[in-house]
Chain A
Amino acid sequence: MSARRSGLLAWARALVRPPRGLKVTRAGRTYLIVTLGVGLGALNTGNNLLYLVLGLMLATILVSGVLSERCLQHLEVRRLGTEAAYAGEPFAFRYGLRRTRGSGFALMLSEDGAKLEGRAFVAFLPPGEDLVARADLVAPHRGPLELTGIKVSTAYPLGLFEKSRVLAAGDRLLVFPRRGFTCADPAERDSGPVGDAGNPRRRDGTGDLLGLRELAPFEDARRVHWMKSAAAGKLLKVEREREERRQFLLSVDPGLRGEALERRCEETAAQTRQLLEQGHEVGLDAGGLRLRPSAGSGQHRRILSALAWLGFEEPS
């Protein structure tokens, strides 16, 4: 019964909602004020030429509405998505457009209803051709964003009004936490280095040969390659890759809420990036959600996704 009622409400809302949105631009406001003035002048003076000017101005508004409507018809738009969306910074979001009939001019695409700033602009869309438009969008907060529709608008032909229509297209955009600097040291490592230095990138491991270089003061003399040093006439040190990696398990207190949770998520995201860039393996412990330490860009994305979902419904 309630489903039926909500369906009826949705139907009623759709019925009441105007099929097109209309926004008056700054130039359009001036134009409307002048039109009003001309109309008052015509009524006041009875000057037929003012009636003529008024007629032209009003007819121009109507023609502008018809041309912009034609621009918004026969339009197919789909989301091509983005590589990654981080909160608080622009990310490229692509749309695929196509007109089945007629050309489109000065089309602007944006997300309807979602808290996303920015839009894509297409100056010309020929009929029957696929076009990819890029929008630089900005999401203010991390988390999943439900996308309900794509808003296509145009100020064509005169820039006096901006007419828009919403093409229903459900989707979800996961916004990763804001990328920032790490404000705290990484958590305690799970396993320490096997070699003689903490940095896995240090060229003093026991793996494959990387190269030779002159021995610096206070360096371990056991790594000197004696035959090469004899041939070169100076002490040369052997550099080998490290094979060991350190593992970190970053944690987010499940009890955090609000701003504290946001800060912790951003901090954890930044630490994750830093540690992964250093070659470590990073995992995440966020209460019910636990990711085993691992390395690589895939792990980076998994952790960011998990952080983006924290505080929202669990990812399926």
Chain B
Amino acid sequence: MIAPSRVRLRLALRDLASAAAFASIAVSGSVPLWAVAGFAVGLVLSLLGLRLLARRGVVAAVGLAAAAVVLFSSTLRGSLDLVVAACSFAALVTVHRMLSPPAPATDNQVHLTSLLMITGGAALSGEMMFAVCLAMFGVLGSLSLSLAVLEGAPGDEEEVPVAGMLRRVGAGALVALLGGAVFFVAFPRLSWNVAARRTSPGLGPATTGFSDRIRLGGGGNIKTNPRLVLRATLSPDPGRERLDAYWVGRTFKTFTGREWLGHGTARPPRQLVTLGPSARDLVHQRIELLPAYDSRTLVALEPAVMVGNAQARSQTGTSRASLVEVTGEEVHFLEPAVAYSYHAYSLPEGSTPQAAEPADLADYLDPPPGLDDRVGKLAKQVVGGERDPLAAALLLRDHLRSNFRYTLELPGEVEDPLANFLFERKEGHCEHFATALTVLLRAGGFPARVAAGFYGGERLAGHYVVRAGDAHAWAQVYVPGQGFVSVDATPAEGRAASPSATWAWLISRYEELEALWRTSVIDYTLRDQADLARSLVRPPSQGGRAEGRLPDSRAWLAAAVLTLVVYAAWRAGKLRRRARPNPLASFAQAIERALEASGVERFEDEPLEEQSARLRAAGHPMAPALTLATRRYLEARFGGRPLRQGEREALLSPLRRTPARRAA
């Protein structure tokens, strides 16, 4: 009878391995909720040892068939992806098997469906959590399988040190993980690319909320979202910890009274888009739009003069991307992708832009339909006789900042959000402030528009990163000769993201790992392999280092590792070839030497036992000691009764002491 505790441990490890496999598909966020709930309930019941389907085979089969029909019909309707449906069904089969009576066949089926779920997870998700799930599945599944191997024989009731064995197998599983990583790095990426899938943006759906309209009354929860959406490398590097800069994405001209809309005209796709006159000392930005961004609009430091050299990153690899300029509003990518990278050039901070007057300048004066009369009066009251657009904008900005409060709590749907903000609540978020300033400017006769993008820039690992919570809106007033100049009415505390410090720190570390995961695993290509091989064979020369005759340190390290490997292989081979002498053979030789020293005659090829019998028959004085030594030698060598400590000398010493009185 096998120890019940060992069986329970094996089943628990099996179930947890399945849970890890299911988690690998669940992190993609595409598995139906009912399948997630079903698996969770089944897992808990199985871990509690409740095999509910032991005597309900028919019911379970009908349930599985019904689930298969539902999933298949969902796939046919197009509401569910085929891979997701297959993974969900595999999860349900796993639950069915887990709740059935344990048997070798059942266990194998659970492991098989778990393996299929892991494979499905690889197809569904690009999450870093997949690696964790894969590692857990590998280790836990190996442990469970190893325990099953010990139960291979019926009636096995031996005491087995399970902990020691699990340690060995666990170490083996970790080695397998390392081996898998080595294989991953070394295996040539020769892909047919017939059925590639798009990966998800990670950590759930993207939350930037970048769209072609701004609707007043929309949620402000995004301010607390710490997900990284943009990573930029600036040249020249400002070197500051916080950049506190405006990253403009798009602008809006038309306000309906409830929302800002874009009505720009799209121009033909191009590789390079010029947004304004160039100048000296431009700030170069290499910008990566991360998967969490989930929008096609390009973002650059304000004021941007040029964007181009864009690349789109998809599951099938990286490709050159085309840019579409929507005149006066935005530049966006032509094709959707998981992430993008591009280069942008902006005017340096504090410089005065030069821009021609737009042809549709009059449109930037249009008030929204049904504008409250109090808005015009307020504008006149604040601006007074000021006719300089920028000065007027600053007056209005100061008024808003000093008399209005920043809040993310919204009044809900109201008939006139702007009037509600300006004359009733007197509190709102950045979109309210930007809208109010823009409409007040227009009411005062100054062309203005709303810009949307991000405010901030936090230094992280040599780059500047922007979080989803940095999303921001502000106003731009037209200044003749300079174009649209940004004026931000939002109080300072409401501009940048405001997540908790701990949460932001954790997310930053996670994002670093995820970035490493994406660059090193998800986007690992044949070119990376070639680069790696090249760097190993020919390390790059370091700038500024004096050229010497000695090779690079990495070459020394590689040579040392190679030498160790060769030595270990040689040593192992030598040890294998060298037959270790049996220690008992030396005991027999010692007996023979003692007999020879005593002058005892020995016939040619006479075995020790025959010689012993002959001497005993002849009454030789050495016979008793020799008989005992010979018997113990035979027992030790062939009878499985080894010599005790010191017994060898005790047996040999009488032979050495006994004088040879006569020959046999």
Residues of A within 8 A of B (CB): 26-27, 30-31, 34, 37-38, 41-60, 62-64, 66-67, 78, 96, 98, 103, 105-106, 108, 121-124, 126, 130, 155-160
Minimum CB–CB distance from B150 to chain A (whole Å) comes to 5
B146 touches A158 (CB 8 A): yes
B194 touches A63 (CB 8 A): no
B191-208: CB near A (< 8 Å → 1, else 0) gives 111111100000000000
Which residues of chain A are near B138, meaning CB under 8 Å?
56, 60
A121 touches B152 (CB 8 A): yes
Say yes or no: is B257 at the interface (Cβ < 8 Å to chain A).
Answer: no
B522 touches A48 (CB 8 A): yes
B164 touches A103 (CB 8 A): yes
27 A-B pairs with CB atoms under 8 Å apart are: A27-B111, A31-B115, A37-B119, A41-B119, A45-B193, A46-B193, A48-B189, A48-B522, A49-B122, A49-B130, A51-B184, A51-B189, A52-B521, A55-B182, A55-B183, A55-B184, A55-B187, A56-B138, A59-B183, A63-B175, A63-B176, A63-B179, A67-B172, A105-B165, A108-B152, A123-B158, A157-B169
A47 touches B196 (CB 8 A): yes
B96-123: CB near A (< 8 Å → 1, else 0) gives 0000000000001001100110110111
Given A45-B194, A55-B187, 15 more pairs with CB closer than 8 A: A38-B119, A46-B193, A48-B184, A48-B522, A49-B126, A52-B122, A55-B180, A60-B176, A62-B179, A66-B172, A123-B156, A123-B160, A156-B149, A157-B172, A158-B146
B176 touches A124 (CB 8 A): no
Minimum CB–CB distance from B194 to chain A (whole Å) comes to 5
B630-649: CB near A (< 8 Å → 1, else 0) gives 00000000101000000000
Q: Which of B112, B177, B317 contacts A30 (CB 8 A)?
A: B112
Question: B residues 450-478 with Cβ under 8 Å of A?
Answer: none
In the complex, A60→B134 CA distance in Å? 13
Which residues of chain A are near B177, meaning CB under 8 Å?
56, 59
A50 touches B179 (CB 8 A): no
Interface centre among A49, A66, A122, A126, by most chain B C-beta atoms within 10 angstroms, is: A49
A105 touches B150 (CB 8 A): yes
B145 touches A47 (CB 8 A): no
In the complex, A280→B638 CA distance in Å? 40
A46 touches B316 (CB 8 A): yes
Which residues of chain A are near B521, meaning CB under 8 Å?
48-49, 52
Which residues of chain A are near B168, meaning CB under 8 Å?
67, 157
Which residues of chain A are near B182, meaning CB under 8 Å?
55, 59
In the complex, A208→B147 CA distance in Å? 64
Interface of A is mostly: helix
Which residues of chain A are near B118, meaning CB under 8 Å?
53
Which residues of chain A are near B156, meaning CB under 8 Å?
121, 123
A124 touches B180 (CB 8 A): no
A44 touches B176 (CB 8 A): no
Minimum CB–CB distance from B155 to chain A (whole Å) comes to 9
Interface residues on B, range: 35 or more
B150 touches A158 (CB 8 A): no
Provided the pairs A53-B119, A155-B149, A159-B152 are in contact, do residues A47 and B165 lie with their beta carbons within 8 angstroms? no
Which residues of chain A are near B317, meaning CB under 8 Å?
46
Minimum CB–CB distance from B37 to chain A (whole Å) comes to 26
A45 touches B191 (CB 8 A): yes
A48 touches B316 (CB 8 A): no
Provided the pairs A122-B158, A159-B149 are in contact, do residues A63 and B172 lie with their beta carbons within 8 angstroms? yes
Say yes or no: is B598 at the interface (Cβ < 8 Å to chain A).
Answer: no
Which residues of chain B are near A27, meaning CB under 8 Å?
108, 111
In the complex, A160→B148 CA distance in Å? 11
Provided the pairs A52-B131, A52-B184 are in contact, do residues A47 and B146 lie with their beta carbons within 8 angstroms? no
Which residues of chain A are near B523, meaning CB under 8 Å?
48
Which residues of chain B are near A43, meaning CB under 8 Å?
190-192
Provided the pairs A34-B112, A49-B122 are in contact, do residues A59 and B149 lie with their beta carbons within 8 angstroms? no
A45 touches B180 (CB 8 A): no
CB-CB nearest in chain A for B641: A130
Which residues of chain B are near A126, meaning CB under 8 Å?
161
B524 touches A48 (CB 8 A): yes
Interface centre among B130, B152, B187, by most chain A C-beta atoms within 10 angstroms, is: B152
Provided the pairs A49-B130, A55-B182, A55-B184 are in contact, do residues A78 and B640 lie with their beta carbons within 8 angstroms? yes
In the complex, A126→B522 CA distance in Å? 45
CB-CB nearest in chain B for A103: B164
CB-CB nearest in chain B for A128: B642
Q: Which of B119, B152, B315 contacts A106 (CB 8 A)?
A: B152
Say yes or no: is B606 at the interface (Cβ < 8 Å to chain A).
Answer: no
A45 touches B172 (CB 8 A): no
Provided the pairs A53-B118, A67-B172 are in contact, do residues A158 and B123 lie with their beta carbons within 8 angstroms? no
In the complex, A253→B177 CA distance in Å? 69
CB-CB nearest in chain A for B153: A121
CB-CB nearest in chain B for A106: B149
Question: B residues 332-388 with Cβ under 8 Å of A?
Answer: none
Which residues of chain A are near B121, meaning CB under 8 Å?
49
Minimum CB–CB distance from A38 to chain B (whole Å) comes to 6
Interface centre among A27, A38, A47, by most chain B C-beta atoms within 10 angstroms, is: A47
Task: Pick the 7 closest A-B CB pairs, nearest first.
Answer: A59-B179, A46-B191, A55-B183, A121-B153, A56-B180, A55-B180, A49-B122
Say yes or no: is B173 at the interface (Cβ < 8 Å to chain A).
Answer: yes
B119 touches A155 (CB 8 A): no
Say yes or no: is B424 at the interface (Cβ < 8 Å to chain A).
Answer: no
In the complex, A52→B125 CA distance in Å? 13
Say yes or no: is B159 at the interface (Cβ < 8 Å to chain A).
Answer: yes
Which residues of chain B are near A63, meaning CB under 8 Å?
172-173, 175-176, 179
In the complex, A26→B105 CA distance in Å? 10
CB-CB nearest in chain B for A124: B160
B119 touches A158 (CB 8 A): no
Provided the pairs A48-B521, A123-B160, A124-B161 are in contact, do residues A34 and B119 lie with their beta carbons within 8 angstroms? yes
CB-CB nearest in chain B for A46: B191
Provided the pairs A45-B197, A124-B160 are in contact, do residues A50 and B184 lie with their beta carbons within 8 angstroms? no
Which residues of chain A are near B161, meaning CB under 8 Å?
103, 124, 126
Minimum CB–CB distance from B445 to chain A (whole Å) comes to 58
Say yes or no: is B18 at the interface (Cβ < 8 Å to chain A).
Answer: no
In the complex, A126→B159 CA distance in Å? 11
CB-CB nearest in chain B for A62: B179
A130 touches B123 (CB 8 A): no
Provided the pairs A67-B168, A155-B152, A159-B148 are in contact, do residues A49 and B180 lie with their beta carbons within 8 angstroms? no
B158 touches A44 (CB 8 A): no
Q: Which of B142, B159, B638 contacts A60 (CB 8 A)?
A: B142
Say yes or no: is B181 at the interface (Cβ < 8 Å to chain A).
Answer: yes
Which residues of chain B are near A50, meaning CB under 8 Å?
119, 122-123
Which residues of chain A are near B184, meaning CB under 8 Å?
48, 51-52, 55
Minimum CB–CB distance from B138 to chain A (whole Å) comes to 6
Minimum CB–CB distance from B170 to chain A (whole Å) comes to 10
Which residues of chain B are near A157, meaning CB under 8 Å?
142, 145-146, 149, 168-169, 172
In the complex, A268→B432 CA distance in Å? 111
Provided the pairs A60-B142, A123-B156 are in contact, do residues A158 and B149 lie with their beta carbons within 8 angstroms? yes
